[in-house]
Structure 1
Amino acid sequence: MVVALDDAKRSAIAMKLADMKTIQELLIQNEEQFLKEINDKEIADRFRKMLEDDRKNKGVLETVNVQYGIQAEPEKTVTEMINKVRQLMQGSELSLYEKVFQHELLKHQQVMSGLTIHKAAQKVGVDVMMAIGPLNTVNFENRAHQEQLKGILEILGVRELTGQDADQGIWGRVQDAMAALSGVVGSAVTQSSDKSDMNIQDVIRLDHNKINTLFTELLASNNPQKIQEYFGQIYKDLSAHAVAEEEVVYPRVRSFYGASDTQELYDEQADMKRRLEEIKAIDPSSSQFKDKIRQLMDVVGDHIRQEESTMFAAIRNNLSSDESEQLATQFKAAKQRIQEKAAK
């Protein structure tokens, strides 16, 4: 039996990620509704851009959940809260100001959840930090959205109370706050904000980086239990990654990457799977365990170099941005299905 790094801390982070994904879906629904209700062009334009960001960030959160490798359901209390807020948003009990106020609270919750996950990951493991790296983009944009929502709330609140427009200097203050925020945390952004989602190269590279980190952590450890756990995570991650590539990516690239080069990728992964099974049968405390890991690492390294050089170049030259992002979505869906099946 393969023992992976599914301890309580990692499972707790997985649940928090599931919470964020569920709340993200509600944020998108809210913003779609606001666009139907709001007549103010400037406010509508800001919500339209916010909606664009949030749809993209839903894809980023899906990537992080799959990359993390531990599937979880949202907390019951979060699900109940979301259902109550959704009812209020769809009803007539709240004014537009009150609905946007509730929306800003949800944004605040996303910000704090994202920052908490980031800080927790620093305590749990380097591989977790690698897996959640794209979350930095979501955290940054949610902080920026909060500043915009404060401006929107000020305008809507003044109108609701007085029937008049608020000071037009509001948006200037909002922009200043966003600029200051960008100066503080902008360097943490790992993904260009004008992309609609991560492309297939981004997603595969994330997998590669995480695997390399796990190899490094395993080889640096002298604790047989930890070594076994790191190998278990490598086994799970490489297996899911390989099957998803073979189901989704390789058939798609074969026509322009070439039958011979594509077959070489299949063959390399077959060798990798064979080595994984061989290592699984070896005692982690034995002297040959790490030798076999190093050999596997060499095989995986060669495979990664081929994918990230020639295959990625072929994808860039033959697929549009939309096609590459669509392929990423299909890859993530396949990988999640494989992970869920393996967890049963």
Structure 2
Amino acid sequence: MVDAIELLKQQHREVDELFEKFEKASEGKGEQVLMDLFARIADNLAAHAVIEEKIFYPSVYVGPTADKLQEAVEEHLAVKRVIADLLDMDPSDVQFKAKMKVLQEMVEHHVEEEEKELFKSVKKLLAKEELVTIGEQMEVMFNELIQTEPRMQVPRETDEAAPLPQ
């Protein structure tokens, strides 16, 4: 049984590895390889954002985490806008690799803030059992979403940040 924070950290590592593969592939691999890697990155990020916005963030939207979560959903929005741009591009486009690098940097910044600040606050707020319950719900939803090319939903989610409980 994986708790919510461990699940999110594991997904952060997986996306990080995919970005590394993309960087290596950028040096001479074919466009199809780059498109496949982009699709995997975008699907993982899209599904990850959904489980955070629908399950994790509302579960931990209490006191000291509220401001961090407002910032987090704004960062998700920025990431979604870059993914939406990339969905309209081909790896042969001059800006494709540059936009992928910007996406990577945005994700790395977001991950760093979550792991250094938010997750520490959440561990103080919630018991281990609660984190396991939330983690199980998130894992089920992620596994369902990842089968559905979740990146294709992203362009519909670029108008405003995901709502948080008020």
Q: Structure 1 length normalisation: TM-score?
A: 0.41
Look up the match of 1:323.
130
Count of residues in correspondence between the two structures:
147
Look up the SS of the partner of 1:282 in the other structure.
coil
Q: 2:59 matched to 1:252?
A: yes
CA distance in 1, matches of 2:21, 2:98: 15
Alignment map for 1:220-299 (pairs within 5 Å): 220-221=24-25, 222-223=28-29, 224-299=31-106
Displacement of 1:341 in angstroms is 4.2
Displacement of 1:279 in angstroms is 1.0
Look up the match of 1:104.
none
Look up the match of 1:198.
2
CA distance in 1, matches of 2:147, 2:39: 16
* C-alpha distance after superposition, 1:302-327 (max 9, x if no partner): 11011111111012111111111111
Checking the alignment, whether the CA contact within 8 Å between 1:248 and 1:334 is kept in structure 2 is no
Checking the alignment, whether the CA contact within 8 Å between 1:199 and 1:327 is kept in structure 2 is yes
Look up the SS of the partner of 2:95 in the other structure.
helix
Amino acid aligned to 2:5: Q
Amino acid aligned to 1:215: F
CA distance in 1, matches of 2:146, 2:32: 23
Bigger radius of gyration? 1
Displacement of 1:330 in angstroms is 1.2
CA distance in 2, matches of 1:321, 1:299: 29
Alignment map for 1:80-99 (pairs within 5 Å): none
Amino acid aligned to 1:231: F
CA distance in 1, matches of 2:80, 2:69: 17
Displacement of 1:282 in angstroms is 1.4
CA distance in 2, matches of 1:257, 1:230: 37
Runs of 4+ in 1 over 3 A off after TM superposition: 340-343
Match of 1:305 among 99, 108, 112: 112
Checking the alignment, whether the CA contact within 8 Å between 1:256 and 1:314 is kept in structure 2 is no
Checking the alignment, whether the CA contact within 8 Å between 2:65 and 2:118 is kept in structure 1 is no
Match of 1:214 among 18, 22, 40: 18
Gaps of 5+ in 2: 151-166
Alignment map for 1:1-80 (pairs within 5 Å): none
Higher relative contact order (CA 8 A, sep 6+): 2
Displacement of 1:244 in angstroms is 0.9
* C-alpha distance after superposition, 1:265-305 (max 9, x if no partner): 11100111110010111120233111001101111011101
Look up the SS of the partner of 2:84 in the other structure.
helix
CA distance in 2, matches of 1:256, 1:328: 21
Amino acid aligned to 2:11: D
Look up the SS of the partner of 2:90 in the other structure.
coil
